[in-house]
Amino acid sequence: METMNMISGDIKMNNNNLLIENGKVNKRIVRFSAQELTTGQEYREVYENATGKYSALLKEVNSFEGNEGIFRRLIENINNAFWLMDLVTTKIIYISPAYEEIWGRPCQFLYDNPSSFMIYTHPEDLPKVKIVMERLQITGENFEEEYRILRPDGSIRWIWVRMFSFFDNQNKVYRIVGVAEDITRRKQLEHELIRLATVDPLTSTNNRYSFLERGQTELIRALRYGKPFTLLMLDIDDFKQVNDNFGHHMGDEVLKRMVSKSMATLRETDIFGRLGGEEFGVILIETDAVKGLVIAERLRANLAKLKIKTGKKTIRFTVSVGLAALKKGDTSIGKIMRRADKALYEAKNRGRNRVVKGC
């Protein structure tokens, strides 16, 4: 605090109030630093007269200084990072110690490099962060977002950030306060739950639910844009004999190797899934029946060549394939699957190890 134009007379303190006795005050200017006042101003000028205006202000400041200590202890002992940024100077005024744990960099690094907030945002999330930040600075609209950040060791963390603004006397945003929480663990749990709900645990391909959901999405897209759409149903021939002759553990190995070989044969855009037991489905994106038959035959042939060693013996197997293409009137994936399933059983009845196109 800086005081100009000293007061003549007797000055006493009483319960943090400034009392003036036997004196005369014409005009005095008192300046307070930002640390002595709220975080809304760099300094404040007070023109005082004998009505006691300065006395009241001094009491307010002293009260804040007491609360500031409590506030600082709070934000320095929580896991969330807290910061205050001045938009006029583009400087960080304060950052709490939790920044170091979340971002993996010392607090001084942020003081020296305020722009690192944006630089070390994950490139895929940066566009949306820029948009909400610009909106916050222009309109003062609160910022609340989940996004990823990059740490010095190359690891990625998810954070939840909430920011809000302070306005000057011209109603322009001049400071921003932010709070960030590390939500990486929560995101990992969410992703694991999604994986468990959509992925077959044995073969790590789409389970029935995920396959049908993705298939319906692709069917809607095909109908909307007039694209071809073909579906395959595959079933391992005489799979029970594999389990009976080599044990269920080798039966599981056959299923895993069959999925691996199939996905290596298909295109990355195609959708593969385990529908149950030894039955699988394939959605051939933007593929008509003619091209679908070529792909199905190549898949069947590649699986017939697969050899799986178990001790001195070798397991070989074949698959039967049923094919159905999009027809006028098809609106659900289930309708196309029924035609493909019928073609699959026709392939079985014709002697197995073959591809049959459904009507």
Identify the band that residue 68 occupies on the pLDDT scale cut at 50, 70 and 90: low
CB contact at 8 A, 300 and 211: no
Residue 44, pLDDT above cutoff 90:
no
Residue 43, pLDDT above cutoff 50:
no
Same domain, 243 and 340: yes
Same domain, 267 and 314: yes
Which two tokens mark 244? 């009976």
Task: For 188-246, give the DSSP string.
Answer: HHHHHHHHHHHB-TTT-SB-HHHHHHHHHHHHHHHHHHT--EEEEEEEETTHHHHHHHH
More reliable by pLDDT, 135 or 322: 322
The SS3 call for residue 276 is strand
Counting the structural domains of the chain, the total is 3
Decide if 88 is inside a domain: yes
Residue 18, pLDDT above cutoff 60:
no
Identify the band that residue 57 occupies on the pLDDT scale cut at 50, 70 and 90: very low
Same domain, 346 and 213: yes
Same domain, 276 and 223: yes
State the pTM of this model. 0.61
CATH code for the domain in which residue 89 is found: 3.30.450.20
Decide if 194 is inside a domain: no
CATH code for the domain in which residue 251 is found: 3.30.70.270
Residue 250, pLDDT above cutoff 50:
yes
Same domain, 109 and 217: no
Q: Give the number of C-alpha atoms closer than 13 A to the C-alpha of residue 319, restricted to the C-beta side.
A: 29
Same domain, 268 and 347: yes
Range 259-263, long-range pairs (CB < 8 A, 24+ positions): 259/203, 259/204, 259/205, 261/302, 261/303, 261/306, 262/234, 262/299, 262/303, 263/205
Q: Among 129, 159, 188, identify where a domain stops.
A: 188
Same domain, 153 and 299: no
Same domain, 329 and 349: yes
The SS3 call for residue 332 is coil
Range of the domain at 240: 201-357
Place of tokens 């029970």: 240
Same domain, 319 and 215: yes
Q: Among 69, 88, 112, identify where a domain stops.
A: 69
Which two tokens mark 191? 């992703």
Same domain, 63 and 104: no
Paired sense of beta strands 319-325 and 355-357, if any:
parallel
Same domain, 9 and 113: no
Q: Among 36, 69, 102, identify where a domain stops.
A: 69
Instruction: Provide mean pLDDT across the span 182-198.
Output: 93
Decide if 196 is inside a domain: no
Q: Give the number of C-alpha atoms closer than 13 A to the C-alpha of residue 130, restricted to the C-beta side.
A: 12
Decide if 170 is inside a domain: yes
Same domain, 351 and 267: yes
CB contact at 8 A, 284 and 232: yes
